């Protein structure tokens, strides 16, 4: 089963992208939940992403919860909480990665990881070395399928925000083959 576009993406490939994104979002979800106890929207997006990643059909559940998590991000009281909610929304949105050769689509693949790396930095008092170390771990989680999908898109180029620069660095390293042990799985 493929979606129409510039190239093909199978449901299995989309699930691999969603799995990669949701692992990072899930790691930083507690940051949001500590800052905004009782708001279920980012958790619902993470759950929806896992539902799809583990084999359920892609439905409007992923779209709706993604939008809700991004709305939650807009009202979050701290940058860390905002980025954690965005990572959750990005994870749910990964199910809708489009098979069009535009660098903007790379965000569906890598932005949750970049947001999580920035959250790690902020939680460590803004220490950018912590973010770089997080990217090193995230490279280890990239499978050959994920890297193959990533390489179908044009690379992202830098950007002004720290998250954009982290995403660009991860994009570059994965394209250069800097993946880790899980890449063999």
Please give the pLDDT value at position 4: 53
Q: How many other C-beta atoms can be found within 10 angstroms of the C-beta atom of residue 177? A: 9
Please give the pLDDT value at position 70: 97
Please give the pLDDT value at position 25: 97
Please give the pLDDT value at position 169: 95
Q: Which residues of 70-104 are buried (b: 16+ CB within 10 A; e: fewer)?
A: bebbeebeeebbbbbbbbbbbbbbbbbbebeeeee
Please give the pLDDT value at position 34: 97
| Token pair recorded at residue 11 | 């449901």
Where would I find the H helices in 95-161? 106-123, 128-141, 144-150
Please give the pLDDT value at position 161: 94
Residues in the chain: 185
User: Mean pLDDT, consecutive 10-residue segments, the chain of 185 residues?
Assistant: 70 97 97 97 98 96 97 97 98 94 93 97 96 95 96 89 96 79 43
Please give the pLDDT value at position 58: 94
The pTM of this model reads: 0.91
């Amino acid at each position: 089963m493929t979606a129409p576009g510039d190239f093909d993406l199978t449901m299995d490939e989309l699930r691999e992208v969603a799995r990669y994104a949701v692992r990072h979002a899930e790691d930083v979800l507690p940051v949001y939940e500590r800052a905004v106890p009782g708001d279920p929207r980012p958790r619902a997006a993470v759950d929806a992403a896992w539902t799809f990643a583990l084999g359920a059909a892609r439905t409007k559940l992923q779209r709706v919860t993604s939008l809700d998590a991004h709305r939650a991000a807009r009202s979050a009281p701290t940058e860390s909480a905002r980025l954690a909610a965005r990572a959750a929304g990005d994870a749910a949105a990964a199910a809708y990665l489009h098979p069009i050769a535009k660098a903007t689509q790379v965000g569906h693949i890598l932005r949750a990881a970049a947001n999580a790396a920035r959250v790690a930095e902020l939680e460590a008092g803004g220490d950018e070395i912590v973010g770089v170390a997080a990217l090193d771990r995230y490279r280890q989680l990239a499978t050959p399928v994920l890297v193959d999908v990533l390489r179908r898109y044009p690379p992202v180029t830098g950007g002004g925000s720290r998250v954009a620069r982290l995403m660009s660095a991860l994009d570059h390293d994965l394209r250069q083959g800097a993946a880790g042990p899980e890449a063999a799985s």
